[in-house]
Structure 1
Amino acid sequence: MEEEREEGGSDGGLRGSGVALMCVYAFCLQFTPSEPYLVPFLTKVKGFSNNVVTTEIFPVSVYSTLVFTLLAAPACTYLKYRSVILIGTLGRLSTFFILLFGRSLLSMQLMQATYALGVASDLVFSSYLFVLVKENMYQSLTSFTQASSTFSFFIAAELSQLLVSEGVNLIVLLYISTCMVALALVACVFLPVEMRHWIDVSSLGDLELDWETPTSSCQNFVELVKATWSNRSLQLLSLWWAFQLGGTAMIENYGTNLFDAVDPTSIYNGHVIAATQGASCVAALIAVPASRYTSKAGGLLYAGGSGLTWLLCVVLSRSKALWIVHAAYILCVALNKFLLCILYVQCARFLSHGHFIFLFSLNAVAALLVQSSLQAFVEVLNANLSAQFYYVGNYFLLLTIVFAVLVKAYYQSSNATLLR
């Protein structure tokens, strides 16, 4: 064990250089000024219509992300976490090479698949941090890397806006993004090798984890799932988590498509994405201190959040004024960031053992299943962008009603403090 401690730093922690390296990796990976202008690049440079991008290219990443996320955990079982992260980073780099040199519809669909591989590795990176250090250091390390990612994306979005406003060709944004992801790949090679998991399995009470045989592994996995969701409040919060996050992902995925559909001549995507990141950062920062006041609303807070998301989706689907669409999009993303941050804190309080990352991973997979179902639904209906946001809005209205009914039923059955 002493050798493992030396690799990760003293006392199961990390040296400052290790923390800095992970922050550099997170910063470089998210410094992609091409992101706000990906749709204009595909329509104006590559020659695809907005409809083709919306219905034939972007949906590939939704289904691929689900597949790769399901494969991520087994991959980490047989490979080092760092190896899986390295594969995901290679997927991100491949995405930009295909964007630069690909011309056919098939190549753009392959580009979305490699992008999904990178997205799935983001979840592995969160788990990697968890196994790299002791639990009491996990929150700090996560905060550092998340701050690096968010700040990087904010700066990249503003840089893209500046370059586009100066008339720089969109392909330059792709070259910058490619170089930064290549630097992330180099940083990934030097990331610390993970140690044995630091979690104290004695906190699970009578649940003993023995991974010696496939049978015991399966049995222990089932027991761990039962232990994770044994709390009734946590079951209800996890339901909202999966269904809300799955719907919100549809809004975020097709936001820039909608901007382009409302006004193809607009060049302000960079400012909008940067403002969205800024609003999300503010929402995340105020969420935890605000939770002491919002907890008085109990589960109705989340039902209300779904209701507001429905109203904003109606605005997105109906408005023809681009500034209104921009404002509604920013508010929608920031609102859900605020709610999810409060949700994560509440779930951590209700969780009876230390496997919060396990809860996060499986709920994320459930959200991807919801998102894939919504994607398939709008594809079957062959809905245009306005109709797509209208249907997603109706989905949130249904979620609001169903969740409010469930919360009321849970309150009545528990006679008081559920979800508070």
Structure 2
Amino acid sequence: MNWTRISLLLCVFGFVKEFRPSEPFVVEYLTGPWKNFTEEQVYQDLVPLYTYYYSVTLLPILLLTDFLRYKPIIILCGLSGTCSYIAIVLSKGVQDVQIISFLLGVFMSSEVAYFSYIYAKVSKLHYQEVTSHTRMALLLGRFTAGITSQLTVSTNLLDYHQLNYVSLLALGIATIWSFFLPPLGQSVYLHRPIGSVSNEPAPSKIDIGSPNQTERSSDQLFNLQQGTSLNNIEKEPSLAKKIKHVYYLLWKDFLLAYSNSYVLKWSLWWTLSTCGFMQVINYVQVLWQSSFEEAAKVYNGAVEAALTIMGALASFGVGKLKLNWPIIGEGTSSIIALIQGILLFIAAQTHNIWISYTAYVIFSVAYQAMITVASSEIAKHLSEDSYGLIFGMNTLVALLEQSLLTFLISGSQVFGLAVRPQYVVYGCYFVVLSVIFMIMAVHTLVKHRRSNKQFNLWESRLSTP
């Protein structure tokens, strides 16, 4: 099948899956007359459990995705999403929280198949195009859902409860659609020819300390630790050969990526920033609810729609900037994190819903811009086959960090802070992140200065290795 048709099929699934107009108003729904949850039950029981289940299910689903060749996990994504909304609609109270949280965790974890399926199905020549297509499909789905939810709620066409049926219908359609995706005959690791080992890093225009030397040293480290080679693997029985081959590829890609200090640095930003961002968005509706006046109109859907468009434009714009990120990356990250911390302090103190909305939008757009830079800089120094593994591992680490933060700050087991004190803590978190990267920025600039190299702001002036 032509790659454009495959991309179109996957994009339709992504768009419909993201069309969930009930999400901008989920806290209003749960604390409303339909479910009668208290705010404390939402942010101390439901959200923490969802975070824990997301963390626990991500790793096995990440491994199963390659083993089952993607399509079954995409189907699982649709099924778990559908079942989660059935559980939300039919739930009677707190006793159903664990079921809902588990299903939502599986739903979010299985999205990894959506992002990696296309890479195993199309030629590497089309990676950039299909990545753009699949990302835009998600953004368009979220934008359409935000607009739909705001219009239907503002015009009293649908209430918060009825919006769940629209989300349920969309996920049901996405599940049916997923069955029409073409199956894969191979995958990145398990189901591929034994001899097709490709671990060359993607070409880079940035000289950051000889990537080729990093690759050689990581290969040597791997061979020393394993004491094996592909020649030895090929002599073993078929099942053992496959298992060892997969282990070889996974471990080699892992070492090759994280032995590169540049990848490690941007992965640190990726995980810490993503952890804080996910924690903020998980509790933002609870924060907003504490700012609403009686009988005031709620504009959560419009805010999410505006945020989606602005985030997409910011990501696109940053992607076009050919800046010298190896030199200015840490400093820029530090400034952005400081701004985000200040915005969270403002959000924690204000009871004006419009100031809270504005702070959230700026905070999220700043995250989308910098995470685009981080993802791009990491990808430049990875082999194409290891994109899913490394970004999956970064997501897993971010989720584990978020689970720890949730356990300490949000859950009832330790501090169990109310939502406004939580946002003060999250503000401090980003300030500390800013300090860490400012120290790294000073170190990078001093090192660059001592090397007597010219300071260049733009990447286009750098020499290629």
Does TM, normalized by the shorter one, top 0.5? yes
Partner residue in 2 for 1:92: 81
Q: Amino acid of the residue matched to residue 289 of structure 2?
A: D
Q: Does residue 75 of structure 2 align to residue 79 of structure 1? A: no
Partner residue in 2 for 1:183: 173
CA–CA separation in structure 1 for the residues paired with 2:187 and 2:69: 12
CA–CA separation in structure 2 for the residues paired with 1:332 and 1:151: 20
Q: Does residue 289 of structure 2 align to residue 255 of structure 1? A: no
Q: Report the TM-score, using the length of structure 2 for normalisation.
A: 0.82
Q: Does residue 439 of structure 2 align to residue 405 of structure 1? A: yes
CA–CA separation in structure 1 for the residues paired with 2:111 and 2:148: 24
Most deviating of 213-222 and 40-49: 213-222
Partner residue in 1 for 2:13: 25
Q: Report the TM-score, using the length of structure 1 for normalisation.
A: 0.90
Most deviating of 177-186 and 288-297: 288-297
Q: Does residue 97 of structure 2 align to residue 108 of structure 1? A: yes
Q: Deviations over 1:256-288 (max 9, x none)?
A: 121112116442111111111111111111111
Shift of residue 348, structure 1, vs aligned partner: 2.1
Q: Amino acid of the residue matched to residue 22 of structure 1?
A: L
Q: Does residue 246 of structure 2 align to residue 224 of structure 1? A: no
CA–CA separation in structure 2 for the residues paired with 1:326 and 1:289: 28
CA–CA separation in structure 2 for the residues paired with 1:99 and 1:203: 44
Shift of residue 19, structure 1, vs aligned partner: 2.3
Structure 1 counterpart SS, 2:351: coil
Query: 2:197 aligned to 195, 198, 201, which one?
Result: 201
Higher helix share: 1
Paired residues for 1:249-288 under 5 Å = 249-263=278-292, 265-288=296-319
CA gap of 1:403–1:295, structure 2 versus 1, over 3 A, is closer
Partner residue in 2 for 1:6: none
Q: Amino acid of the residue matched to residue 179 of structure 1?
A: L
Partner residue in 1 for 2:406: 375
Query: 1:310 aligned to 335, 338, 341, which one?
Result: 341
Q: Contact 2:62 / 2:112 at 8 angstroms: preserved in 1?
A: no
Shift of residue 163, structure 1, vs aligned partner: 0.9
Partner residue in 1 for 2:110: 121
CA–CA separation in structure 2 for the residues paired with 1:134 and 1:216: 22
Q: Does residue 260 of structure 2 align to residue 234 of structure 1? A: no
Q: Amino acid of the residue matched to residue 375 of structure 1?
A: T
CA–CA separation in structure 2 for the residues paired with 1:222 and 1:355: 10
Shift of residue 197, structure 1, vs aligned partner: 4.2
CA–CA separation in structure 2 for the residues paired with 1:174 and 1:22: 24
Structure 1 counterpart SS, 2:304: helix
Partner residue in 2 for 1:388: 422
CA–CA separation in structure 2 for the residues paired with 1:30 and 1:353: 27
CA gap of 1:300–1:352, structure 2 versus 1, over 3 A, is farther
Partner residue in 2 for 1:4: none
Q: Amino acid of the residue matched to residue 115 of structure 1?
A: L
Partner residue in 2 for 1:3: none
Most deviating of 295-304 and 104-113: 295-304
CA gap of 1:38–1:406, structure 2 versus 1, over 3 A, is same
Q: Deviations over 1:141-162 (max 9, x none)?
A: 1211211111111111111111
Query: 2:135 aligned to 127, 140, 146, which one?
Result: 146
Partner residue in 2 for 1:5: none
Q: Contact 2:349 / 2:420 at 8 angstroms: preserved in 1?
A: yes
CA–CA separation in structure 2 for the residues paired with 1:216 and 1:28: 37
Q: Amino acid of the residue matched to residue 36 of structure 2?
A: G
Query: 1:40 aligned to 13, 28, 47, which one?
Result: 28
Shift of residue 46, structure 1, vs aligned partner: 0.8
Q: Amino acid of the residue matched to residue 42 of structure 2?
A: V
CA–CA separation in structure 2 for the residues paired with 1:252 and 1:23: 25
CA–CA separation in structure 2 for the residues paired with 1:333 and 1:278: 11
Structure of higher CA gyration radius: 2
Q: Contact 1:131 / 1:195 at 8 angstroms: preserved in 2?
A: no
CA gap of 1:266–1:257, structure 2 versus 1, over 3 A, is farther
Q: Deviations over 1:121-166 (max 9, x none)?
A: 1112212121111222122112112111111111111111111112
Structure 1: runs of 5 or more not aligned:
1-8
Most deviating of 350-359 and 274-283: 350-359
Q: Amino acid of the residue matched to residue 395 of structure 1?
A: Y
CA–CA separation in structure 1 for the residues paired with 2:41 and 2:407: 15
Q: Amino acid of the residue matched to residue 10 of structure 2?
A: M
Identical pairs, percent: 23
Most deviating of 18-27 and 207-216: 207-216
CA–CA separation in structure 2 for the residues paired with 1:245 and 1:400: 14
CA gap of 1:296–1:408, structure 2 versus 1, over 3 A, is closer
CA–CA separation in structure 1 for the residues paired with 2:64 and 2:389: 15
Shift of residue 82, structure 1, vs aligned partner: 0.7
CA–CA separation in structure 2 for the residues paired with 1:55 and 1:92: 22
CA gap of 1:304–1:232, structure 2 versus 1, over 3 A, is same
